[in-house]
């Protein structure tokens, strides 16, 4: 009897079950061939905890390849470990699977901006389209546009934010800085508004107010604002910043711990930084050397700091933060060309490392003004709120014409 006749002779419920099995098998095969490849970076020599975190996130995608949340979580884990290209691929997949939330196109743009702020600004438009009232997509896009020299577009974004959130201090400070570059100091002072009282901007806002007063010839006012700024603690991180809330808790491994020590020190949390250092020194001797080098820098002994950092790098040559601090120590010893070479090594490993662009500029300004300006411009692109980077660029530029800004992240000669 032909196979078709055999099947027809079976009870109806057996025929139905057979069809269901065929459909399920076909669906499984279709999903297997149609699901995009799961991005995986080169993890040779990576911290075992990093590998474990990525493996776990990838396993969740394999279990549920149609879930935007699974792809987005893998993207966040990769982004937190500085695997930007792979993170972008995951965020784009999450964006395609979920056409409503602004989160995934937001993180796509943010991850891409470290290599190309211009492309990041374009990608962020999708997040804004999905929710025109969301503050953070517009805010980051405005800060990138300022760094790219597209002031009118940035102003439109700042004004759109303030139309929804009139007291948003970071937007007010950003708009004030933008206005003063256009020569409108009075409007800049008005725009500053509540930024002088917000715990995340009050110190920076008062320092900016001092610059405005000095520009207008009010020396006494400038001194008052500087004194008020000096009496304040460091500005606190933004509590609702998606990057600040989502990425740190996904960072794992030794490298993340080193970065956290530096971050705590930068925020003035010295006791917390020391406690964290003591907890991890037993596991990683190079961290002891890293902390010792930082202490020597604080004591004004860059030669001892250089020695400690070099010893730490013999244990972990891939540690970007240790190499960055080595460059700082060498620069303080006056060996600027050597320091510049070290900062280039840092940027070769992590192109979006804003502080390294800033220190590279400081080292280059002694020998190559044009290259130093380009480095400062890249520092601003990656750290749009950094007053240090802006002041360094303004000081070096002076009244002379500057070259067109390079694409941030490109090699500096």
For 328-347, the pLDDT digits (tens) are 999 999 999 999 999 999 98
- CATH code assigned at 186: 1.25.40
369 and 316, same structural domain? no
pLDDT at 410: 43
pLDDT at 399: 36
Higher pLDDT, 96 or 393: 96
Does the residue 209 lie in any domain?
Answer: yes
pLDDT at 29: 46
Does the residue 18 lie in any domain?
Answer: no
The pLDDT > 70 percentage for the chain reads: 83
Query: What's the whole-number mean pLDDT along residues 68-88?
Result: 93
261 and 326, same structural domain? yes
- Of the listed ranges 185-194, 224-233, 278-287, 380-389, the least confidently predicted one is 278-287
Comparing C-alpha atoms, which of 95, 79, 83, 84 is closest to residue 36? 95
311 and 280, same structural domain? yes
pLDDT at 16: 58
211 and 184, same structural domain? yes
DSSP state letters, 269-294: -HHHHHHHHHHHHTT-HHHHHHHHHH
- CATH code assigned at 329: 1.25.40.10
398 and 349, same structural domain? yes
pLDDT at 390: 84
268 and 319, same structural domain? yes
Query: Above 70 in pLDDT, residue 128?
Result: yes
In this structure, which long-range contacts are made by residues 116-119, counting pairs with CB atoms below 8 Å and at least 24 apart in sequence? 116/407, 116/408, 116/409, 117/144, 117/147, 117/148, 117/381, 117/382, 117/408, 118/144, 118/148, 118/407
Does the residue 328 lie in any domain?
Answer: yes
Does the residue 373 lie in any domain?
Answer: yes
Domain boundary among 300, 333, 366: 333
Domain boundary among 303, 333, 363: 333
Q: Say how many domains are in the chain.
A: 3
Does the residue 189 lie in any domain?
Answer: yes
pLDDT band at 95 (very low <50, low <70, confident <90, very high): very high
Query: Above 70 in pLDDT, residue 321?
Result: yes
Does the residue 87 lie in any domain?
Answer: no
What sign does the dihedral 280-350-248-35 (CA atoms) show? Answer: negative
Query: What's the whole-number mean pLDDT along residues 230-236?
Result: 88
Contact 148, 412 (CB under 8 A): no
Domain boundary among 333, 354, 379: 333
Query: Above 60 in pLDDT, residue 404?
Result: no
Cα 319 from Cα 258, distance rounded (Å): 9
Per the prediction, the chain carries an average pLDDT of 84
pLDDT at 30: 44
Cα 170 from Cα 139, distance rounded (Å): 8
401 and 352, same structural domain? yes
274 and 263, same structural domain? yes
345 and 329, same structural domain? no
Encode 210-233: b = buried (16+ Cβ within 10 Å), e = exposed. bbbbeeeeeeeebeebbebbeeee
Does the residue 352 lie in any domain?
Answer: yes
Does the residue 98 lie in any domain?
Answer: no
315 and 346, same structural domain? no
347 and 310, same structural domain? no
346 and 291, same structural domain? no
**In this structure, what token pair is assigned to residue 276?**
């964290």
- Of the listed ranges 25-39, 164-178, 198-212, 256-270, the least confidently predicted one is 25-39
**Domain span at residue 276?**
253-333
């Amino acid at each position: 009897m032909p196979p078709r006749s055999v099947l027809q002779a079976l009870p109806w419920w057996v025929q139905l079950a057979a069809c269901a099995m065929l459909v399920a098998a076909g669906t499984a095969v279709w999903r297997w061939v149609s699901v995009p490849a799961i991005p995986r970076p080169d993890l040779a020599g990576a911290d075992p905890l990093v590998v474990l975190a990525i493996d776990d996130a990838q396993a969740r995608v394999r279990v549920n390849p149609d879930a935007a949340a699974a792809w987005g979580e893998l993207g966040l884990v990769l982004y937190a470990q500085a695997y930007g290209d792979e993170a972008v691929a995951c965020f784009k997949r999450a964006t395609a699977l979920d056409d409503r939330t602004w989160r995934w196109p937001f993180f796509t743009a943010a991850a891409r901006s470290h290599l190309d702020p211009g492309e990041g600004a374009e990608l962020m438009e999708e997040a804004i389209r999905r929710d025109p009232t969301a503050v953070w997509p517009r805010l980051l896009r405005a800060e990138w546009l300022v760094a790219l020299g597209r002031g009118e577009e940035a102003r439109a974004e700042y004004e759109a934010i303030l139309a929804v959130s009139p007291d948003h201090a970071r937007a007010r400070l950003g708009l004030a800085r933008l206005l003063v570059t256009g020569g409108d100091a009075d409007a800049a002072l008005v725009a500053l508004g509540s930024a002088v009282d917000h715990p995340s901007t009050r110190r920076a806002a008062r320092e900016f107010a001092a610059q405005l007063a000095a520009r207008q010839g009010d020396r006494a006012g400038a001194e008052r604002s500087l004194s008020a700024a000096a009496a304040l603690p460091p500005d606190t991180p933004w509590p609702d910043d998606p990057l600040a809330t989502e990425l740190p808790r996904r960072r794992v491994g030794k490298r993340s711990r080193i970065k956290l020590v530096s971050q705590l020190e930068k925020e003035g949390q010295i006791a917390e930084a020391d406690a964290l250092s003591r907890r991890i020194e037993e596991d990683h001797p190079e961290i002891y050397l890293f902390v010792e080098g930082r202490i020597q820098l604080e004591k004004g002994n860059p030669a001892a700091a250089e020695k400690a950092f070099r010893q730490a790098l013999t244990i972990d040559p891939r540690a970007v933060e240790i190499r960055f601090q080595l460059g700082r120590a060498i620069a303080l010893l006056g060996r600027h060309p050597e320091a510049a070479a070290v900062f280039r090594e840092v940027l070769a490993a992590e192109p979006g490392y804003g502080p390294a662009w800033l220190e590279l500029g400081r080292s280059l300004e002694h020998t190559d003004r044009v290259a130093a300006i380009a480095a400062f411009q890249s520092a601003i692109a990656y750290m749009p709120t950094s007053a240090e980077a802006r002041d360094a660029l303004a000081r070096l530029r002076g009244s002379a014409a500057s070259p067109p800004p390079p694409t941030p992240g490109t090699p500096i000669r």
